[in-house]
Chains A and B, each alone.
Chain A
Amino acid sequence: MSGLRVIVGCKRVIDYAVKIRVKPDKTGVVTEGVKHSMNPFDEIAVEEAIRMKEKKIASEVIAVSCGPTQCQETLRTAMAMGADKAIHVELDAKQTETIQPLHVAKILAKISQEEKADVVIVGKQAIDGDYNQTGQMTAALLDWPQATFASEITKNNGDLTVTREVDGGLETIKVKLPAVITADLRLNEPRYATLPNIMKAKKKPLAKKKASDYGVDVTPSHQILSVEDPPVREAGQKLETTEDLVGKLREAGLLPS
């Protein structure tokens, strides 16, 4: 059996360390002039796909991103990490703002079929929308099994054995190939792209597509009515001693009496 063909989804998001600002007109958050990078969970997905290739489990790794032109930088990063080629599904500014995970899942499902993929790996959630939906929906559309919140993946014959991070601890499941996996934080430690690899990545193929090329209508069914700042907590007080603290908690009835 030849190696698996792996699709990895990479989303370009506001960098995780940035303190976001809500727009005064409450339509969204300020993205212009703000540092963006690859969604941290997607970096983990890319890393896992590349490790599968290094272990000769995978034969080809294809990175996919849906979004504005700048997503090509995100895809170049994935290729500098080791992805073989990339597909950019370009969206205009408006579409980028209103696209929903269901649309992305439809695009990923179409690409997976066209590319004859065996595995789709995406991050468990993007840190901007915090939806945690795309992988599950891609699996549903393809009728493939899903292994969400993966912290370990091993391949045996036509199956993947996946350890998942669940509420009470860990859980191991077996999924038949082809399958969709979503990566949790502890799956691996993503590598840094080295300068020579960044240079090489510039020569790797990057196909430019539109959502309509895949027959996917990205008209939103969710209308965002407002985006606002969360309530601000009132400033607290600094205490001097442990006695003060325990006293305050006891006063508030927060300690067992």
Chain B
Amino acid sequence: MFSRACLQGARRGVHVYKRFNSTLVVVEHNNEKVTPITLNTITAASKLGGEVSCLVAGSQCAKVAEEVSKVAGVKKVLLADNDAFKGFLPEALTPLVLATQSQFNFTHILAGSTALGKSLAPRVAAKLDVSPISDIIGIQAADTFVRSIYAGNAIQTLKSNDSVKVITVRGTAFDAADPSSGSAAQEQAPAATPSATSEFVSQELSKSDRPDLTSAKSVISGGRGMKNGENFKMLYDLADKMGAAVGASRAAVDAGFVPNDMQVGQTGKIVAPDLYIAVGISGAIQHLAGMKDSKIIVAINKDPEAPIFQVADYGLVADLFKVIPEMSELVDKK
């Protein structure tokens, strides 16, 4: 038995090395609930083949730590509960991540590719004097990653020679981890002195009962063709009937039809739902970057030359003001 174990160890030299990987996932949450992208990030972390620990930092966030400890694949949850983490400012969180890193020596530090992850990860990486790897869509090995560049028009595979890999993960490229079959141990995160150079003042979040744009199964987006903000009500009606989230092109946001957090594209949110319906959107490179990995793409546009038709599985060359109400009615009929 002993000899067989030795043999396996020798044959799987790579795997023996892999056993020494250990990954820290920075959990994103609102002190009440875990943000869905954290579950996708935990899946990415599990693919690296080492032990996965999660860091939950916030104010009165014990509930979140409890939730994370039940996620499949998580070995350990580190909890840092402190009022200094109010607003999740990178200046406050970075010393905490660094203290955690110096105690546990992780080989990988991961966060979701969200406004928070994008703000925090590079700050942590610079302090560790390593180059972060943004928005990965694939993991080939513990040091080899796939990401998109030029608004998704080229796919880059890179090997990082840095001692610690600091990574943000594109949520839509990895499945969500099972939130209920894990049993991780909880412990206190090491103490750190947060920098007081910045201060959270306030938030104005868009309230909506519709599903979250980045994790919705269906998304309906409107563009300049919607003509004004009031007309978006048509899309909201249809979306509610379909259980879909509503997105927008940059043109619709810039024109003030809808708030910026609805923007889908290279510089907005990246979505990959089962169904994406583009309404009155021409399909500029920058918009396609945010949605072209959707399973089924539908384009409704009266311009038959619109580039969106080149990526659409189903195209309807017609006036959206006629089609959308018709769709609403037909979806109702069943």
Task: Looking at the assembled complex, report how far the CB atom of B186 sits from the nearest CB atom of chain A, in whole angstroms.
Answer: 27
How many of chain B's residues have a CB under 8 angstroms from any CB in A? 92
Flag if A242 contacts B122 (CB, 8 Å).
no
Determine if A226 is an interface residue (Cβ-Cβ < 8 Å): yes
Q: List the one stretch of B3-11, B88-96, B102-110, B224-232 in contact with chain A.
A: B88-96
Report whether over half of chain A's contact residues are helix, strand or loop; otherwise say mixed: mixed
Task: Looking at the assembled complex, report how far the CB atom of A167 sits from the nearest CB atom of chain B, in whole angstroms.
Answer: 5
- Residues A137 and B122 in contact in the complex (CB < 8 Å), given A130-B150, A225-B159, A256-B242: yes
Flag if B162 contacts A221 (CB, 8 Å).
yes
Query: What string of 1s and 0s marks CB contacts (under 8 Å) between A122-147 and chain B?
Result: 00110111111111111111011111
Which residue of the partner chain A has the closest CB to B35?
A167
Residue picked from A140, A174, A184, most chain B C-beta under 10 Å: A140
Q: List the one stretch of B56-64, B77-85, B326-334 in contact with chain A.
A: B326-334
Flag if B149 contacts A242 (CB, 8 Å).
no
Flag if B122 contacts A223 (CB, 8 Å).
no
Determine if B173 is an interface residue (Cβ-Cβ < 8 Å): no
User: For B202, what are the chain A residues with a Cβ–Cβ distance below 8 Å?
Assistant: 171-172
Residue picked from A133, A137, A141, A224, most chain B C-beta under 10 Å: A133
Determine if A91 is an interface residue (Cβ-Cβ < 8 Å): no
- Residues A100 and B131 in contact in the complex (CB < 8 Å), given A173-B87, A185-B250: yes
Distance between Cα atoms of A244 and B205 in the complex (Å)? 38
Q: List the one stretch of B40-48, B68-76, B177-185, B305-313 in contact with chain A.
A: B305-313
Interface positions of A (Cβ within 8 A of B): 14, 16-17, 19-20, 22, 29, 41, 100-102, 105, 124-125, 127-141, 143-149, 151, 161, 164-176, 179, 184-186, 221-230, 233, 235-239, 241-246, 248-249, 252, 254-257
5 extra interface residue pairs, beta carbon distance < 8 Å, beyond A186-B260, A254-B275: A124-B267, A136-B121, A170-B261, A176-B198, A223-B161
